[in-house]
């Protein structure tokens, strides 16, 4: 039973480190790139995502690591 809880616990924590890809931002970044260069960029991002390298992924404006819907420290005036 302990092995089950160990496998479940990382899954529960992983929701904080989800990798989000925003296609519209990718298209903006790559719209003037040659197709092969854009494909290489996407392959690079996929390799980092598969490896779970969140630090490397954070340099891309079309990738977000974490919860993009979580409120930031800013408070909205109502």
DSSP for 25-69 reads HHHHHHTTS-HHHHHHHHHHHHHHHHHT-HHHHTT-TTEEES-TT
What is the CB neighbour count within 10 angstroms for residue 21?
Answer: 15
Position 7 scores a pLDDT of 44
Give the integer Cα–Cα distance in Å for 12 and 52. Answer: 16
Averaged pLDDT, groups of 10, the chain, 78 residues long: 46 65 94 96 95 93 86 54
The two tokens of residue 54 are 């969140």
- For residue 69, what pLDDT is reported? 78
- pTM: predicted TM-score of the whole model, two decimal places: 0.65
């Amino acid at each position: 039973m302990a092995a089950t809880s160990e496998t479940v616990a990382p899954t529960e924590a992983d929701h904080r480190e989800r990798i989000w890809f925003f296609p519209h931002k990718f298209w903006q970044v790559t719209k003037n790139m040659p197709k092969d260069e854009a494909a290489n960029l996407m392959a690079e991002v996929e390799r980092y995502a598969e490896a779970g390298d969140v630090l490397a992924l954070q340099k891309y404006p079309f990738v977000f690591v974490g919860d993009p819907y979580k409120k930031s420290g800013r408070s909205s005036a109502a």
